[in-house]
Amino acid sequence: MIRQARPEDTDAILDVWLLASLQAHDFVPAAYWWQQQEQMRARYLPSAEVWVCERDGEIQGFIALAEDYLAALFVRPDCQQKGIGKALMATAKRRRRYLSLRVYCENDIAVNFYRQHGFAITAESVDPGTGQPQLCMGFGGA
């Protein structure tokens, strides 16, 4: 079931984010992700529209939308390849006609996922927090 996140979901959302970030971004030192947790809790999640995928009473993935920016789409590593990311992406597309996002160039799985869902590369940049190259991608029309 996909539903809007509630305040009591925050710890579970952060767990999904950390586990998925450590797995998908192994080219970034793990300490970086651990250090970002409080920033996520205090600033990032409260400023976004967050939707979760809950199955069997457990949050298995989430998206965060900030205006037309897909700020996050994460699925717990042990729950991947079960259609959760696809369902969350469908939710994001229903809620926004246009979406933009940034994804690390080295995260081939995510880049391919976004391409399969109609996103196109619009620019390249460097993430100031990690120094890693990233792609800016967009979907739909403004």
pTM: 0.93
DSSP line for 54-108? EETTEEEEEEEEETTEEEEEEE-GGGTTSSHHHHHHHHHHHH-SEEEEEEETT-H
Orientation angle between helical segments 10-24 and 30-39, nearest 10 degrees: 160
Residue 101 structure tokens? 């996002």
Fold classification of 2-140 is Aminopeptidase (3.40.630)
Q: At 23, phi and psi to the nearest 5?
A: -75, -50
User: What pLDDT shows up at residue 98?
Assistant: 96
Are 86 and 64 contacting, i.e. CB atoms less than 8 angstroms apart?
A: no
- Dump pLDDT digits (tens) for 113-134: 999 999 999 999 999 999 999 9
User: What pLDDT shows up at residue 93?
Assistant: 95
Give domain limits for the chain.
2-140
Residue 142 pLDDT greater than 60, yes or no: no
Residue 127 structure tokens? 């993430």
